[in-house]
């Protein structure tokens, strides 16, 4: 074993670490005798105090056994760390098979930051966020943290945040006025996961919209569910196609993801009645219902729920930004306790400072002001998008009905493939995203998802103008 020391810092530590590594890795065999501390000191050009210190530590920790007069020996037993285990005794550590069914990266629009214009969905306008007000709220939260006691908190969330959310939901979505019903989560994704954890046993059937939201699908699949696709039409989920065994139905009634249509009142009534008859849980993902345009669309499905079968799920990812990782749910009373237990078991609770900051941001009125401002901003982008899609782009694209949200879907009318169009647009510096990743079954109608949360008016304009130039060339090439 080769030993060497460098410089003059922590010489004993250097010797300790090299000897220890040699023993752990089996280069110094069990029972082997080490040189004396005196000889080693001479060999390395260090003081004997240094080698003694290293040997003392190795002896104290059990690496070296010292026999009186005989010097130091590598302890018996260490060879077991590296001894070959018969192949029959070794099976590789592997994750359970359910994880093979979960995609490595969830198929969400991936940013293409090199493109000058980008219609990625799921992003918000960072530049328009009132960071000054947020800083004030964070500093407030920091002072509150410094004053408070240190320890774990309520898994359901900080009380003032639950209060702020319940007030907001009562006014904005007619959902609840009771802060105790609200559970704060690490984004909507955790709400879905907790619901899956308490409801799903391997093999249980979960019904999802197709096309639908892939991260929800991954979540239910990871819980071992058999996920059954249910088609959507112009009124949303086709209730009569629900599988009778479904224990859980995941829907996006305010703004079907990704197509955009709201679920009609009669479908809502039919779905609630179906769930009641089948003792199934409805999970209402109201992921961007905050942004409603064209009149006043329906309140949340949860507001019609007379039998307490709906778990309402919301998020701040679309109103603030996704990296904040805060969302919430209002579950049926029968599941509240199990969900709080599950939250405590999986991670106790969300960061207290962020929760406190957000509570202040909401209770001070900054959140409402920000939403009003963003509503105007996003509304203008949406108007422009719709005007161009229905005008100059109408020979090629057909926007779907949508009254809410921060994205629009449009079918491709000409025989141009999604991938073909997306690739051509990328070459022209425009980031487009297809609908195919959201369909679970092949043969769906080609289309695009235009996100405008992080694309300002000027870029929407320039992107669509670029498309107006690009599409005829594709169509001509294709149609010959």
Within 121-180, the residues that bind a copy of itself by CB under 8 A are: 122-126, 129, 131, 134-135, 138-139, 142, 145-146, 148-153, 174
Min dist CB 129 to a copy of itself, Å, is 7
Neighbours of 145 (CB within 10 A): 13
Q: Which of 95, 314, 96, 101 is nearest to 225 (CA)?
A: 101
Tokens of 266: 């009669």
Min dist CB 395 to a copy of itself, Å, is 31
Q: Return the number of the residue (200 or 261) whose C-beta is nearest a copy of itself.
A: 200
Site string for a copy of itself, 347-366 (x = CB under 8 A): xxxxxxxx------------
Min dist CB 90 to a copy of itself, Å, is 6
Neighbours of 42 (CB within 10 A): 13
Min dist CB 46 to a copy of itself, Å, is 19
Q: What is the DSSP letter of 294?
A: S
Cβ neighbours for 102, distance < 8 A, ≥ 6 positions apart: 218, 221, 222
What angle is formed at CA 12 by the lines to CA 9 and CA 14, rounded to 5 degrees? 70
Min dist CB 405 to a copy of itself, Å, is 16
Min dist CB 391 to a copy of itself, Å, is 26
Residue of 157, 187, 212, 253 interacting with a copy of itself (CB under 8 A): 187
Q: Return the number of the residue (33 or 348) whose C-beta is nearest a copy of itself.
A: 348
Site string for a copy of itself, 222-241 (x = CB under 8 A): x-------------------
Cβ neighbours for 97, distance < 8 A, ≥ 6 positions apart: none
Q: Return the number of the residue (118 or 209) whose C-beta is nearest a copy of itself.
A: 118
**Binding of residue 409 to a copy of itself (CB under 8 A):** no
**What part of residues 33-52 is at the interface with a copy of itself (CB under 8 A)?**
none
Q: Are 200 and 224 in contact (CB under 8 A)?
A: yes
Tokens of 312: 């309402």
Tell me which stretch binds a copy of itself (CB under 8 A): 323-331, 366-374, 375-383, 427-435.
Answer: 323-331
Q: Return the number of the residue (220 or 396) whose C-beta is nearest a copy of itself.
A: 220
Tokens of 42: 């001479």
**Binding of residue 61 to a copy of itself (CB under 8 A):** yes
Tokens of 299: 């309140």
Tell me which stretch binds a copy of itself (CB under 8 A): 43-51, 253-261, 274-282, 361-369.
Answer: 274-282
**Binding of residue 428 to a copy of itself (CB under 8 A):** no
Residue of 265, 390, 415, 419 interacting with a copy of itself (CB under 8 A): 265
Site string for a copy of itself, 276-315 (x = CB under 8 A): xxxx-x-------------xxxx----xx-xxxx------
**Binding of residue 472 to a copy of itself (CB under 8 A):** no
**Binding of residue 244 to a copy of itself (CB under 8 A):** no
> Which stretches of 244-334 are assigned E, i.e. beta strand?
248-251, 281-285, 310-315, 327-330
With tokens 């709400």, the residue in question is 191
Min dist CB 368 to a copy of itself, Å, is 16
Counting residues that bind a copy of itself (by CB under 8 A) gives: 122
Q: Which of 193, 196, 228, 197 is nearest to 212 (CA)?
A: 228
What angle is formed at CA 128 by the lines to CA 284 and CA 168, rounded to 5 degrees? 35
Question: What is the C-alpha to C-alpha distance for residues 392 and 262, in angstroms, rounded to an integer?
Answer: 26
Tokens of 342: 């599950």
DSSP for 422-443? HHHHHHTTEE--BSGGG-SSSS
Question: What is the C-alpha to C-alpha distance for residues 465 and 452, in angstroms, rounded to an integer?
Answer: 15
**Binding of residue 206 to a copy of itself (CB under 8 A):** no
Min dist CB 122 to a copy of itself, Å, is 7
Q: Return the number of the residue (8 or 91) whose C-beta is nearest a copy of itself.
A: 91
Min dist CB 410 to a copy of itself, Å, is 22
Question: What is the C-alpha to C-alpha distance for residues 54 and 51, in angstroms, rounded to an integer?
Answer: 5
Question: What is the C-alpha to C-alpha distance for residues 473 and 91, in angstroms, rounded to an integer?
Answer: 58
Min dist CB 101 to a copy of itself, Å, is 10
């Amino acid at each position: 074993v080769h030993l060497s020391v460098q410089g003059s810092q922590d010489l004993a530590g250097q010797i300790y670490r090299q000897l220890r590594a040699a023993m752990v890795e089996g280069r110094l065999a069990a029972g082997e005798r080490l040189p004396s501390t005196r000889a080693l000191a001479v060999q390395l050009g260090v003081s004997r105090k240094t080698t003694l210190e290293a040997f003392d530590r190795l002896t104290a920790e059990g690496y070296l056994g010292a026999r009186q007069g005989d010097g130091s020996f590598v302890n018996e037993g260490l060879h077991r760390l590296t001894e070959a285990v018969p192949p029959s005794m070794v099976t590789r550590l592997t994750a359970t098979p359910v994880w093979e069914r979960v995609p490595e990266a969830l198929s969400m629009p991936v940013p293409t930051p090199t493109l000058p214009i980008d219609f990625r969905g799921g992003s918000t306008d960072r530049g328009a966020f009132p960071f000054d007000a947020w800083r004030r709220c964070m500093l407030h939260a920091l002072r509150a943290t410094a004053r408070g006691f240190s320890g774990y908190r309520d898994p359901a969330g900080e009380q003032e945040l639950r209060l702020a959310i319940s007030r907001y939901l009562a006014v904005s979505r007619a959902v609840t006025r009771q802060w105790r019903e609200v559970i704060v989560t690490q984004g909507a994704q955790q709400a879905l996961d907790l619901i899956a954890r308490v409801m799903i046993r391997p093999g249980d059937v979960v019904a999802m919209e197709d096309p639908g939201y892939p991260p929800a699908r991954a979540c239910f699949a990871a819980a071992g569910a058999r996920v059954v696709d249910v088609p959507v039409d112009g009124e949303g989920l086709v209730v009569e196609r629900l599988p009778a065994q479904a224990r859980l139905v995941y829907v996006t009634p305010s703004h079907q993801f990704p197509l955009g249509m709201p679920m009609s009142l009669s479908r809502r009534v039919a779905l609630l009645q179906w769930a009641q008859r089948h003792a199934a849980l409805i999970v209402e993902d109201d992921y961007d219902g905050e942004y409603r345009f064209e009149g006043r669309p329906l309140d949340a499905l949860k507001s019609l729920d007379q039998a307490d079968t709906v778990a309402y799920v919301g998020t701040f990812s679309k109103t603030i930004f996704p990296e904040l990782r805060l969302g919430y749910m209002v579950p049926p009373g029968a599941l509240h306790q199990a969900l709080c237990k599950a939250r405590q078991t999986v991670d106790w609770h969300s960061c207290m400072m962020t929760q406190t900051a957000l509570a202040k941001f909401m209770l001070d009125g900054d959140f409402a002001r920000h939403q009003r401002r963003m509503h105007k901003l996003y509304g203008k982008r949406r108007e422009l998008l719709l005007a161009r899609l229905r005008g100059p782009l109408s020979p090629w694209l057909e926007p779907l009905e949508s009254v809410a949200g921060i994205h629009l879907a449009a079918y491709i009318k000409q025989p141009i493939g999604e991938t073909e169009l997306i690739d051509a647009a990328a070459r022209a510096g425009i980031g487009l995203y297809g609908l195919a990743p959201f369909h679970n079954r092949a043969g769906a109608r080609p289309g695009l998802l235009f996100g405008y949360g992080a694309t300002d008016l000027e870029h929407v304009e320039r992107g669509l103008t670029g498309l107006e130039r690009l599409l005829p060339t594709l169509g001509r090439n294709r149609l010959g």
